[in-house]
Structure 1
Amino acid sequence: MLTIDTLSHRLSGYLEPSQVMSVKRAYYYAEQAHMGQFRRSGEPYITHPLAVANILASVRMDHQSLMAAMLHDVIEDTGIPKSAITDQFGQTVAEIVDGVSKLAKIDFESQAEKQAKNFQKMALAMTKDLRVIVVKLSDRLHNMRTLGALSADKKRRIAKETLEIYAPIAHRLGMNDWRIEFEDRSFAATHPLRANRLLASLQEVRGDRKAIVDKIKAAIQDRLDRQEIDGLVIGREKHLYSIYSKMRAKYKSFREIMDVFAFRIIVDNIDDCYRTLGAIHNLFKPRPGEFKDYIAIPKENGYQSLHTVVVGSQGVPIEVQIRTKEMDDFANSGIAAHWIYKTAVNEESESLEGHDGVQRWVQRLLEINKLTSSSTEFVENVKIDLFRDEVYVFTPKGSIIELPSGATPVDFAYAVHTDVGNTCVACRIDDRPAPLSQVLYSGQKVKIITSGNTQPNPNWLNFVATAKARTAIRHYLKNQRHIESIELGKRMLNRSLVNLDMNLEQITDQQFTHVFEETKVESLEELFECIGMGKIQAFTIAQILKPDAELNSRDSAPITIDSADSLMVSFARCCRPIPGDPIIGHLSKGKGVVVHAETCKNAMNLRNQGENIANVNWSLNVTGEFQTGVRIEVRSERGIIATLAARVAQTGTSIEGIQVEERDAEHSVITLTLSVTGRVHLAQVMRTIKTMSSVTKVHRSKK
């Protein structure tokens, strides 16, 4: 049975005597505070904090973390305030205890928003002191080890939460041993029959595999001895949840997965890692494309190792990991290993790589939190970062940028800097032009081309893979939409006031106060935004300001459309208006102004139904391109579409879409969706198309 004396003996192996005494003092304080409290198993409650501290001792955490582990339930369960902990054990320990206490009641089965808020709270606790989450993980690990006293439903709930939240966080912090235990215990609690069956199968094949494992191990050890490399060769066995996941994801049988043999080789230094790799590749034939160098390019959680897959005798696949002892500690304990080494190494040591990587991730959490407006959105984006495989690409200057699998140049741009992402217009991959939506692969060099006169494209949200890019784009567009809606609302109100021989500058504070009371808005900015978003009609505000005036929405001076790129002005797909077309505007709630052609049937219906219609017209200098359709009747012949596309391209016009409809054996109808600057541009394109001998008729399509 674990006691404070046995724990103290264990701690004396790596802590100073004064630090061990501080941990013991925290234990006795917690023991007194929890006096009379018991766990569901019937044991005194103090056995839980003691066990949590023991788990932290297994990864050699610092004395302040151990003290916090002893005290982590004191604030929550005994009513002792944080100030008392501060007085007794100092500010640092009190902050860790307080952080863990705030995470104590995550209710996974509650409403989505409440669950999201709790997850957000836990993620942000890491940004203050990483030890908060390490103590919390050890608390959860002991709870998983003692699930036996709980009901089956509660076991499954806790296991599901552990698998979906705590295991990924442990993985992200590089704490591989804890992640494996979280996954295996969660698997056993959620699917006990499957877990037992797999365990029995694993024990059954273990004996059959032993001879092969021993033979491969002996061959590797012999080769290392001949090369005078001092290395420890360990046979690795896949854990239950890993086997189960691969069977489900790859539709493989248990036998197929177990046919792969895995070994880890621990050596003294980095030079020996690469010498060992050479020795292994001389001993067995390497599989092409299966070598990964995580020493030169560590994973973001600090993981470092050489990975290779070779083929042994009789075609047996062998996975080999090669690393130093220090790298192995980081691979197993992750961020916890930072406290082992931080006082024993200098700033240039590879040992701090993991801590720096996690700190970068934590910094990203803060950025994501600032750019998201809700807890649900925060969680959605953080989970993108938790569940990801990495690719490594290079900047033009040779710096390495780590991105998740499936990332694009837009993700790369935002990873470099938010401003680079916001002004990105094009890219070059390996010195060749490439689309911004192209998926990146490890080893590629990416150059981003920027322009100060651009902004993020909403379509980027359809293909970006990183949380940072997604949140930055949404934040920019939301902010831009807010700014544009205020500006549009201000213009619309001013135009409504023109017919009353008034303008905004003449409106007094008292008049605006009256408007605020009538419309239930709180500020002038909010009033403009509501008008711009179509929630309040501008002529309604004008009537409030001058009740005796007879005014309707069509009396206002027209709104000028000067650009194709506005978040608050959109162009109806039913009629696709372009500059030069007579147009009207529909104030759509939440969308701003939707522009229709005057002849559009939908626009006529909206007008007849008394919808909020606004006067709009085109500016003399409209910028941007507008989509419209052209319907072309042709005689069917080989290569007609390619010829037509080439003829349109000669005019410098982009084709956004092509639809082909066969009318009969000899005739077809081709509908092109084109990007044009206006009616003059469209007329030029249509004249060019008419010169083709196979074209019988060209006219503008309404859709």
Structure 2
Amino acid sequence: MRQYELVDRVRRYNPQADEILLNRAYVYAMKAHGSQKRASGDPYFSHPLEVAAILTDMKLDDATIVAAVLHDTIEDTDSTREEIDRLFGQDIGRLVDGLTKLKKLDLVSKKAAHAENFRKLLLAIAQDVRVLLVKLADRLHNMRTLHFVPPEKRERIAEETLDIYAPLAGRMGMQGMRDELEDLAFRHLMPEAYATIEARLDEFRRKNGKAIATIEKEFVDELAAHGIKAKVAGREKQPYSVWRKMERKSIAFEQLSDIFGFRVVVETVEDCYRVIGAVHTKWAVVPGRFKDYISTPKPNDYQSIHTTVVGPGRQRVELQVRTEAMQDIARNGIAAHALYKDGRIADRETLTGESRAYQWLRRTIEMLAEGDTPEEFLEHTKLELFHDQVFCFSPKGRLIALPRGANAIDFAYAVHTDVGNTAVGAKINGRHAPLVSELQNGDEVEITRAEGQVPPAAWESLVVTGKARSAIRRATREAVRAQYAGLGRQIVARAFERAGKPYSEERLKPVLARLARANVEDVLAAVGRGEMFSGDVVKAVYPDFKEERKAAAAARPHGEAGWFGMKKAAGLVFKIPGEGGDQQNDQSIPIRGLQGDLPVRFAPNGGAVPGDRIVGILTPGEGITIYPIQSPALTDFDEQPERWLDVRWDVEEGTHEFFPARIVVTVINEPGALGTISTVIGDNDANIDNIVFRPLSADFREMTIDVEVNDLKHLNAIISNLRARSVVSKVERVNA
């Protein structure tokens, strides 16, 4: 697209467009990208121009078009945010920066880096919806040219589009963009399924083309007879929508009743209801297929009336009835609020203030951003985006939209976090019901509360909304912290009493900086967890105080995993005391799902390695122990579900970190047996930490060996190689 063509596209819908600004952005981006090429071999500059062209079809304002032209300059060229601000203004600079990935991320995995970049993008969207519009247009053009990308990268991008960006477009009401994103991703992820469904749709068009035209004409004539001016047009399901419905309902293509439907567009809301009256009078209604999204719009602002009738020729016909304005929002969603109106572009307030979809998105993002890890943020965002909606009511008539499958706990948290945290029971449609009861459209839900109630940690696995999960996790974390703070409060009070010094929590506030804590509760919790010595607290308040204390110099006993508890970067750091307790060895342990700064260790007598499904067991006042899920020791905690924590590995494939495991090898009692075993383990690049011998008989010896391996695959390879040696009778892994 040439420079003048871009300006012409904008001026067609906005004669007052800033031509100088558009030209300056065009020239700047062209020079910045220089000789850069895309995977297709085209000049890279063609990509931001195509993104801008997509946005001109939505008739967006000058700043959004300029941001589209510049959106890759900070990320892919030598341009800086300061330079963009200086040349184009801070408004455009903020938009471009919101679209720029974080270049330096000290995170434990690529998945965490991806999640952190997505968090940055969504937080920028929460500040200005135009960031979202540019990002979706950017992703759409990348999907249109995805066939030029290498296969492995192509699959990742297509999956990400199907998981994140297509649902996001749908939640913003941009159905046209969602359909194209889904079909492009579907085409690359499942080419055979796509081709099959496309062929079946072609066959359907050939067989039913005349019948569709006949039905369309009969509807137009019937509405005209009632004095209703309407446009009636056919609407065909997209291949991905067809495939998804077939998968969800486990039905064949021939069983789908809504492959083809009709859209009726009228002038006024009153006409919408007149159409329904005329149609339902003429043709029989299919029960359970009437939905009024005009009186109760969807959260993405979609409005329409849906009905299905047994129409002309005794065929089931699906109808969508809406006005032109509703049609515009159904097609362009949130972008429709930025359309050129009355000779000018809608101002910023119009752009953000009219959309319920954007208000929902901003509230969701603000809620999800409170204290979760990047991966949790990404997981919860997917939960919020993916599900169909059910609409429920509070006793006072407040409408609450929830994902399908939500229960009364989700409802309570949707009303308010405090309502969820203190919920103890529910009434659904006036009847007492369990809090885990799944809600249906139209349910009236009343939550019973009890002050002082703390939500059980198990609730996190029962809810489906990101808001509920985040709030439950936070409440659990705060409850554990409060428990440690209570223990620390007792320890500190006794320490001051032993020192003969007066104590009050007010005395701690002036020395918080010296103790490197933000508030008194943090100090007390640190003492309760064993991270801070109580004598240090006394000395911070009374600098002249001196106390003799012995250093705990304990070498790690054989067969036990040492405690570790300091956070570093995105992993956890544990410290193993060396001889005499003087030297320490820091190692990064990438385990996700551990909140707070609790001491953590592997299970004694067996450990755990990446590839094992693992759980954490919380011991108040001591910390968390990591067990593999198959560990028989876990049966001791069956009656204590509140102590179980869901933790997961976050280790990239090919890591060279070592993790503890234990194997028992039964060998023939002959010279060289130990050498054979050691050689096999060494040849497999593993490390022996400890060996204990036990005679079984005159002919056999049992070796219990603590080994350090990279992951479960590495451990299994060692066991397999040991079993292949003639000196070995049996090899088994020991689970703690």
- C-alpha displacement at 1:271, in angstroms? 0.8
- Distance in 1 of aligned mates of 2:50 and 2:440: 44
- Distance in 2 of aligned mates of 1:6 and 1:342: 22
Residue 539 to residue 41, structure 1, CA distance change in 2 (3 Å): closer
Give the unaligned 5+ runs of structure 2.
539-545, 553-597, 599-617, 626-634, 637-736
- C-alpha displacement at 1:73, in angstroms? 1.6
- C-alpha displacement at 1:110, in angstroms? 6.0
Query: Could you tell me which amino acid in structure 2 is paired with residue 417 of structure 1?
Result: H
Contact 1:330 1:337 in 2 (8 A): yes
Does residue 467 of structure 2 align to residue 471 of structure 1?
Answer: no
Does residue 96 of structure 2 align to residue 97 of structure 1?
Answer: yes
Deviates more, 1:20-29 or 1:525-534: 525-534
- 1:648 corresponds to: none
- C-alpha displacement at 1:489, in angstroms? 3.0
Does residue 40 of structure 2 align to residue 41 of structure 1?
Answer: yes
Query: Could you tell me which amino acid in structure 2 is paired with residue 358 of structure 1?
Result: Y
- 2:332 corresponds to: 333
Contact 1:217 1:233 in 2 (8 A): yes
Q: SS at 1:102's partner residue?
A: coil
- Distance in 2 of aligned mates of 1:141 and 1:79: 25
Contact 1:260 1:316 in 2 (8 A): no
- 2:428 corresponds to: 429
- 1:368 corresponds to: 368
Query: Could you tell me which amino acid in structure 1 is paired with residue 281 of structure 2?
Result: N
- Distance in 1 of aligned mates of 2:108 and 2:312: 51
Q: SS at 2:376's partner residue?
A: helix
Q: SS at 1:263's partner residue?
A: strand
Q: SS at 1:17's partner residue?
A: coil
Does residue 597 of structure 2 align to residue 590 of structure 1?
Answer: no
- C-alpha displacement at 1:588, in angstroms? 6.1
Deviates more, 1:63-72 or 1:461-470: 461-470
- 1:219 corresponds to: 218
Residue 321 to residue 352, structure 1, CA distance change in 2 (3 Å): farther
Query: Could you tell me which amino acid in structure 1 is paired with residue 170 of structure 2?
Result: H
- Distance in 1 of aligned mates of 2:338 and 2:108: 35
Contact 2:535 2:547 in 1 (8 A): no
Residue 591 to residue 260, structure 1, CA distance change in 2 (3 Å): same
Relative to the length of structure 1, the TM-score reads 0.70
- C-alpha displacement at 1:475, in angstroms? 1.1
Residue 139 to residue 523, structure 1, CA distance change in 2 (3 Å): closer
Does residue 377 of structure 2 align to residue 378 of structure 1?
Answer: yes
- 2:573 corresponds to: none
- Distance in 1 of aligned mates of 2:104 and 2:499: 62
Equivalence map 1:34-73=2 (5 Å): 34-73=33-72
- Distance in 2 of aligned mates of 1:320 and 1:351: 31
Give the unaligned 5+ runs of structure 1.
551-567, 569-584, 593-601, 604-703
Q: SS at 2:42's partner residue?
A: coil
- C-alpha displacement at 1:389, in angstroms? 1.2
Residue 134 to residue 103, structure 1, CA distance change in 2 (3 Å): farther
Q: SS at 2:623's partner residue?
A: coil
Deviates more, 1:175-184 or 1:467-476: 467-476
Q: SS at 2:485's partner residue?
A: helix
- C-alpha displacement at 1:11, in angstroms? 2.1
Residues matched between the structures, number: 549
Does residue 410 of structure 2 align to residue 418 of structure 1?
Answer: no
- 1:80 corresponds to: 79
- C-alpha displacement at 1:487, in angstroms? 0.8
Query: 1:206-260: per-residue Cα shift (whole Å, max 9, x none)?
Result: 1101122112211211111111111111111111111122222222222223674
Query: 1:134-180: per-residue Cα shift (whole Å, max 9, x none)?
Result: 10111111111112322222222221221112111111211111111
- Distance in 1 of aligned mates of 2:550 and 2:446: 62
Query: Could you tell me which amino acid in structure 2 is paired with residue 378 of structure 1?
Result: F
Contact 2:25 2:70 in 1 (8 A): yes
- C-alpha displacement at 1:263, in angstroms? 1.2
- Distance in 2 of aligned mates of 1:163 and 1:232: 33
- 1:175 corresponds to: 174
Deviates more, 1:349-358 or 1:149-158: 349-358
- C-alpha displacement at 1:315, in angstroms? 4.9
- Distance in 1 of aligned mates of 2:444 and 2:620: 46
- 2:459 corresponds to: 460
- Distance in 2 of aligned mates of 1:236 and 1:109: 47
- 1:357 corresponds to: 357
Residue 71 to residue 538, structure 1, CA distance change in 2 (3 Å): closer
- C-alpha displacement at 1:453, in angstroms? 3.6
Q: SS at 1:310's partner residue?
A: strand
Residue 148 to residue 430, structure 1, CA distance change in 2 (3 Å): closer
Quote the sequence identity (%). Answer: 38
Query: Could you tell me which amino acid in structure 2 is paired with residue 452 of structure 1?
Result: E
Residue 172 to residue 108, structure 1, CA distance change in 2 (3 Å): farther
Residue 315 to residue 75, structure 1, CA distance change in 2 (3 Å): same
- C-alpha displacement at 1:405, in angstroms? 1.5
Contact 1:427 1:436 in 2 (8 A): yes
- C-alpha displacement at 1:15, in angstroms? 0.9
- 2:578 corresponds to: none
Contact 2:491 2:534 in 1 (8 A): yes
Residue 212 to residue 482, structure 1, CA distance change in 2 (3 Å): same
Contact 1:392 1:400 in 2 (8 A): yes
Residue 81 to residue 459, structure 1, CA distance change in 2 (3 Å): closer
Q: SS at 2:217's partner residue?
A: helix
Q: SS at 1:12's partner residue?
A: helix
Relative to the length of structure 2, the TM-score reads 0.67
Query: 1:162-201: per-residue Cα shift (whole Å, max 9, x none)?
Result: 1112111111211111111111111111222332232222
Contact 2:17 2:62 in 1 (8 A): no
Contact 2:496 2:503 in 1 (8 A): no
Query: Could you tell me which amino acid in structure 2 is paired with residue 221 of structure 1?
Result: V
